[in-house]
Structures are given as C-alpha cells and as structure tokens.
Structure 1
Amino acid sequence: MFSLAHWGAIAVLITFILLLFITRTRWTESEKNILSMERLFGLSLLVIDILYHVWLVQSDRWELSNSLPLELCSISLLLTIVLLWTGNRLVYQFVFYAGIGGALQAMLTPVLDMDFPHFRYFHFFYTHAGIILTALYFTWVKGYRPTFKGVLTTLLALNILLPFIFWINYLFEGNYMFLQRKPSGGSLLDFLGPYPWYILSLEIVAFLIFIFLWFLFKKK
C-alpha cells in the first residue's frame, strides 16, 4: 500500500478518468462500433478474471474460503460485464453506486500480496479500474443517470445478499465482504469501530457515499 507501484496505478486511473471526461462529447463513432467496443472491453474483463482463477488453481491458492466471486467488487465486476453487454439501466444503478464505492476503496487501500509486475497486480487494478471507468462511461458518454431509487435498490440488494454471505462465511470459514473480520493489512474499516459494529457503520457509510454520488452525478 502506497508504494510506487500503488501510486502508479492510481495515477493511471486518474488519467483515464480525466481523458474520459474531456472526450465525453466527442464520441462520434457509429453505434455499432461503440457497442463492439463496449463488448470487447467487457470480454477483456471476463478473460482476465478467468485467467486469475486459472492462476489460483495452478498455484494451489484456489479455496472455497476466499476464491468464490462473493466479494463486493467481484459481484460488481460480474455486473459490470453484464452492463457492458446489455446496457441494462437497473444493473447500471448497482454498478454506479456499489461498483464505484467498493472499487474506489479497494484502489485506495488494496488488499494485495503481489506487487508489480506480477499478473495479480495487473488483474487487481485492471478490474477495479474497469468497474469505475465503466460506471463513469455510461454516465458521461451514454447519458445514464443515477437515481435516488437506485440508492435504495442498491442498498436493498446488498442487504439481501448479507445473510447468504454470512452463511457462506460460516460454512467455509471465509471472510467474504469482510463480514467476519477486518483485513489484516489495514483498510478504511479500521476507522469504523470494532467487530461487529463496523458492519453497521458500513451501512451508514455506504448510504452516505451513495447519496454523495447521487448529488454529484444526478441529472440537474
């Protein structure tokens, strides 16, 4: 965390965000070409994530306790791919709120034990940056807009997932979504109180972040 490689990944993300914002009104390609580009990017996210699981298996790291796609960003990544292939507006709301909120926190405080130039480094930052950039692309370029209803439906979806994630954690002795304990390497969760109270704090923080994003990007 906060190494040169970490700051480099953050700098690349900021650069692409700025480029996306600056060129948001200059996307003059035909709709067919844009759809092809969206699906190609979605495919690249899917392929690199599949390769990540292949690497986990080959290196004897794949375990039911920590390798299922049940982290917030893993779920957001799968829905980001769905969004890029379908343009579904309901999926957009989840990717915008939970995707940006979760991936941004992961980018700032990465739970990562492999440094540059390891494959895992590129997988981690490519997928998390992909979630953020996709949400911003659909907002700035495609004209989608987050709604207050989207805030509520995203929070509802997350809370519907919680009992299932708790059960999986209990069954496989996992820590998906950090619902059993905080990450050992330090994260923003360290500021939200002890277990299990930080889970309640997370609900409040998530709501506040979603409201902030809604005010920042909602249709004026």
Structure 2
Amino acid sequence: MSHWAAIAAGVIGSWLIFHYRRQWRSMTLYRWEQVCGFLLLAAEGGYHAWLVSNGFWSVDHALPLELCSLSILLSAVLLLTGNRFLYDLVFFIGIAGALQAVLTPVLSFGFPHFRYLHFFFVHLMIIWTSLYFTWVKGYRPTLRALWRTMLVLNMLLPVVWLVNWMTDGNYMFLMRKPSSQSLLDWLGPHPWYMLSLEFVAAGMFFVLWLLFREKQPKGDAS
C-alpha cells in the first residue's frame, strides 16, 4: 500500500503541474524554485547523514554515481539556475530513470521510515522538476538534446565502471543486476544487458521526445 501511495502521489503531483500550468506561467515562482532546489539538496544531504550515523556509508555504494543520484543533484541545480543544458539531461535521464525507480524501487524500508520518505521524495521531485520546466517554463526537448544525452551517458560509463572496479561497487548496475526485481531482468545476462540498455534508453528517450516535443502550429507545412 505504501508503494501504491507513492505512485498515486506522483500521478497527482504531475496532474497538478499540468492543470495549473497556465496560471503558474503568469506568476513569479523564482523563490519557490529556489526553495525546491535547496530542499532537494537538503534531502540528499540528510540521506548521507543518515548513512553515516547508522554506519551504512561506504564508497562502494554511497557515492553520487547512480543515474538517479546524479539526476537529484542536476535537478537541484536546474531549479536554482534554470540552465537549459541541465534541463536536457534532467528531462531524459531524470524522467526515464526516476520513473523506473518509482515503479520498481530498490528499497528495504517502508513508510514512515526516513529512507522511504527520502527515496520517493527525491525521485518524484526529479520527475516533477522536468515536467515543471516543460509545461510551466516552456522548455522543450529536442532530438539534438536526445543524442547529446546519450553521448554524455556513454562518456560517463567508463568512469563509473572504473570506480566500480576500484571500490568493488555496482554503480549503475554495471557489474551485476540488483537483487530485487527490475527492468534488467528482461534484458539478458551480464554483461549483455548493458548493450540492451543502450537500445532501451534510446527508445525511452525517443518516446519522451515524441510526447513532449514542441508541436508545430496546425497548417504549418515547414
């Protein structure tokens, strides 16, 4: 039930952003953007403080090298700065990664544990931040941004693999699949599922672009 409640919160929050998009466009929301950006940073800082205080922090799993961990930081900076390049990364990587995390969470704690609240808060905020900048601020994904995001991801993979090798970690699940059920269960054994993920990521990004791209006015033949 707590999982379904988190999914329902995500749906309701997304609907509210879409429903009030026109009203919010005419408002000055800079202060709220700043507040949300700092809340994301505070939530992530609180998570690391919780890890340290309980003896769970370790370089093999606590560095911000998961896609969603990176998306949290990028979403916070996007809210604080409005940077267009960061929007492209957060939109494609953030929505695709956070949506998968919300639907199939790798999580050992339920409501009302801090880790449950942190996990769903930060992942839903990634999605909501992307939708807010799309529907309210008027940013739109482009095909060029899609391929640029794929390039950034592939440039990041060797670095993460090296960190995994040095720390015996499993960031981005490059070394093995997670123990809980996930999308990777459908993509073949290690290491072949990483190649499958390339096509899945490109496909998901393309669908997101189709859904949220800037529509041309009707009758515009160009």
Quickly name the TM-score band, shorter chain normalised. over 0.9
In the other structure, the counterpart of 1:7 is: 4
Q: Where do residues 139-158 of structure 1 align in structure 2 (5 Å cutoff)?
A: 139-158=134-153
In the other structure, the counterpart of 1:27 is: 24
Q: Shift of the alpha carbon at 1:30?
A: 4.2
CA RMSD across the alignment: 0.8
1:108 paired to 2:100? no
In the other structure, the counterpart of 1:197 is: 192
Question: Any gaps of 5 or more consecutive residues in structure 1?
Answer: none
1:57 paired to 2:52? yes
Q: Distance in 2 between matches of 1:45 and 1:191?
A: 32
Q: Distance in 2 between matches of 1:116 and 1:163?
A: 36
Show CA shifts across 1:55-113 (max 9, x none): 00000000000000000000111110110011011110000000000000000000001
In the other structure, the counterpart of 2:183 is: 188
- Residue type of the alignment partner of 1:10: I
Q: Shift of the alpha carbon at 1:38?
A: 0.3
In the other structure, the counterpart of 2:62 is: 67
- Residue type of the alignment partner of 1:81: A
The alignment-based identity, stated in percent, is 54
Preserved contact between residue 25 and residue 136 of structure 2 (Cα < 8 Å): no
- Residue type of the alignment partner of 1:141: V
Q: Distance in 2 between matches of 1:78 and 1:159?
A: 19
- Residue type of the alignment partner of 1:142: K
Runs of 4 or more consecutive aligned structure 1 residues displaced over 4 Å after TM superposition: none
Show CA shifts across 1:27-60 (max 9, x none): 16643xx111001001001001101000000000
Show CA shifts across 1:163-218 (max 9, x none): 00000000000000000011001101100111000000000000000011001100
Preserved contact between residue 25 and residue 137 of structure 2 (Cα < 8 Å): no
Q: Of residues 205, 211, 214 in structure 1, which corresponds to 2:209?
A: 214
- Residue type of the alignment partner of 1:97: F
Q: Normalising by structure 2, what TM-score? A: 0.95
